Amino acid sequence: MNSRQITRSIGKSGVVASAVGLGTWAIGGWMWGGTDEAESIAAIQASIDAGVLLIDTAPAYGLGRSEEIVGKAIKGRRDRAVIATKCGLNWHSKKGNHFFDQDGTPVNRYLGAEGIAYEVEQSLRRLGTDYIDLYITHWQDPTTPIAETMQALERLKSAGKIRAIGASNLNAAELQQYVGTGQLDAIQERYSMLDREIEQTLLPIARQHQVAALSYSSLALGLLSGAIDPAREFSGDDQRKDNPRFSQANRRKVAALKHALAPVAEVHQASMAQIVIAWTLAQPGITFALCGARNATQALDNARAGEILLSAAELTAIDAAVAGHLVAIDA
């Protein structure tokens, strides 16, 4: 592993990964305006070669497409990669409860034992591996007791098919149930300068039980990257097209924040996105920051953020800039 990359443990599992991780939702294409397989593979391989070994994917990202691309990319690099994928969004059966339709296919939330046993085999096949480092329940299933779900996950762990257990998109009561029924190693939740609710709800519980926290949308779907011009237009199925958070007014606020962060960025010879990621990793309770990339250049830019250590004075300055500029941004 690149010795300059910050590394951290995934809870009490014994699995160690780079603090910056590569999120591959966009690589699956769905809700991101399509995907380019060659560029996606290059992004994953560039990440691993730069020491960003945590690669996060999910079956729902393109109905298996993202996992298949990750599988192709890690061939010959599997021993260096820390692969996180998910279960619980099922388009193979009608069990659970309907969540959404993807390309006309109904997708249900279902975390029953037989569903998990089926899903893990499909993920292993698509990824081209015989084990998954971190297996995460993607969205919570109100039709299945969490105790049943945890028992199924612990059986997979005992069988060597997964190395650590995680849960995503849950509330405080569900998190308490998870930690009360087995060894939960990680949670994965939306967190950024604009999305800080879990600081009061989930992170205190996670820290109490030594559960790692992976932030997703660390750059708020790219809004906080500083690279989206106020005049840019989104097209196709890109989820940002009709998102009020991406209004021109809000993008102008981000541009003002970028200007305010310029002195800190200059000290570290870094971009705004890199400073935002480094800030995220400095927040109490946040263990890993997942950042999307669709080509090798973006992947290497994210990797650089995993080498930046911000001082207490810089963190204070960044917090002041956030408070001053990211006000009344639409949710």
Say if CB 41 and CB 73 are below 8 A apart: yes
Q: Report the distance separating Cα 318 and Cα 193, nearest Å.
A: 10
Residues 6+ apart with CB under 8 A from 204: 285
Q: Report the distance separating Cα 326 and Cα 23, nearest Å.
A: 24
Element (H, E) at 37: helix 37-49
Number of helices and strands in the chain (H, E): 10, 13
Residues with active-site annotation: 61
Give 246's DSSP letter. Answer: G
The partner residues of 20 in beta bridges, in order of sequence, read 289
Which residue pairs from 113-120 have beta carbons closer than 8 angstroms and sit at least 24 positions apart in sequence?
Answer: 113/148, 113/149, 113/151, 113/152, 115/87, 115/88, 115/90, 116/87, 116/88, 116/149, 116/152, 116/153, 116/156, 117/152, 117/156, 118/92, 119/59, 119/87, 119/88, 119/90, 120/87, 120/156, 120/161, 120/162
Q: Report the distance separating Cα 245 and Cα 326, nearest Å.
A: 11
Q: Report the distance separating Cα 28 and Cα 232, nearest Å.
A: 22
Give the dihedral of Cα atoms 1, 191, 254, 20; nearest 10 deg: 0
Q: Report the distance separating Cα 77 and Cα 280, nearest Å.
A: 28
Q: Report the distance separating Cα 89 and Cα 87, nearest Å.
A: 6
Say if CB 144 and CB 111 are below 8 A apart: yes
